Amino acid sequence: MILKKRSECPISDYATARLESIAVRQPRNEIALRLLLELKRPIAAPSANISGRISSTSGRHVQDDFGARIDFIINAGECETGIESTVIDLTQDEPAILRPGAISIEEISKIIGNTKYVASHGSNPRSPGMILKHYSPKLPLRINVVKKQGENEALIGFGQNKEANFNLSPSGDLFEAAKNLYSTLRKVDDKKRFKSIAINPIPNFGIGVAINDRLRRASKAQKRD
């Protein structure tokens, strides 16, 4: 939740990008909750991955990204949902979803009334995870693809697709697809095996809205050497 920051707020400006707002969240993970209870103060917790690159959903992913640059990892196992949190802005008269996530806009609207979705634009977003080029593999990514272009393109399927090299959910379960999204992208992001990545269309409702948001941002990234 993005809230207005009080003038006497003790949180460092470095943790809020010197904005007049502050983003807060409470994890559900038992280890994270115990850590907060022991510390008795908030923790500044950016995502555990290189900015703009594919998100981490396991301790191994974090180790692969950072190596010796970090001292240790508190490993609570794989992420339960596999996709980032929903970001809701409560600083204005009307609540607005800035980033779709595991909790859908439909679920939120049932609790607090009509809630709009505001897509981000530009390079100065109001919340982390909202820049246009984000969550990106090194290889070029094509979205909403039914058939791959040649053997050197990795096809990630959804539902029944015999041509797919990998499949987010053979049964067409959106929650299973969300859980597998980043780990699958990391598997296929291999220049020795593939030249590009393609992914089947994902239904755009429920958590599928969040999956498509991540894929659109990832597909906007330029190929990196």
In the structure, what pLDDT confidence band is assigned to residue 124 with cuts at 50, 70 and 90?
Answer: low
In the structure, what pLDDT confidence band is assigned to residue 126 with cuts at 50, 70 and 90?
Answer: low
Rounded to a whole number of angstroms, the distance between the first and last alpha carbons of the chain is 37
| DSSP per-residue string spanning 159-222 | SS-TT-SEES-TT--HHHHHHHHHHHHHHH--TTT-SEEEE-----STTHHHHHHHHHHHHTSP
Examine residue 94 and state whether it is found in any structural domain, yes or no. Answer: yes
Q: Which domain holds residue 159?
A: 141-219
The pLDDT score that the predictor gives to residue 207 is: 94
Q: What is the mean pLDDT of the chain?
A: 88
The pLDDT score that the predictor gives to residue 225 is: 38
Residue 153 and residue 56 share a domain: no
Examine residue 43 and state whether it is found in any structural domain, yes or no. Answer: yes
- The interaxial angle of helices 174-188 and 208-219, nearest 10 deg, is 20
Classify residue 91 by burial, with Cβ atoms within 10 Å: 0-12, 13-18, 19+: middle
How far, in Å, CA of 188 to CA of 210, rounded? 21
Examine residue 52 and state whether it is found in any structural domain, yes or no. Answer: yes
| Residue after which a domain boundary falls, among 102, 117, 132 | 117
- Long-range contact set of residues 32-35: C-beta below 8 Å, sequence gap at least 24: 32/76, 35/74
Number of independent structural domains in the chain: 2
Residue 146 and residue 198 share a domain: yes
E strands, 30-89, in order? 87-89
Could you report the per-residue pLDDT of 24-35, keeping only the tens digit for each?
A: 998 888 999 999
Residue 87 and residue 164 share a domain: no
Phi then psi dihedrals of residue 82, to 5 deg: 90, 0
Quick one: tokens of 176? 């299973």
Examine residue 182 and state whether it is found in any structural domain, yes or no. Answer: yes
Could you report the per-residue pLDDT of 50-104, keeping only the tens digit for each?
A: 877 899 999 999 999 999 999 999 988 898 899 999 999 999 989 999 999 989 9
Residue 93 and residue 11 share a domain: yes
Contact, 117 vs 97, CB < 8 A?
A: yes
SS3 177: helix
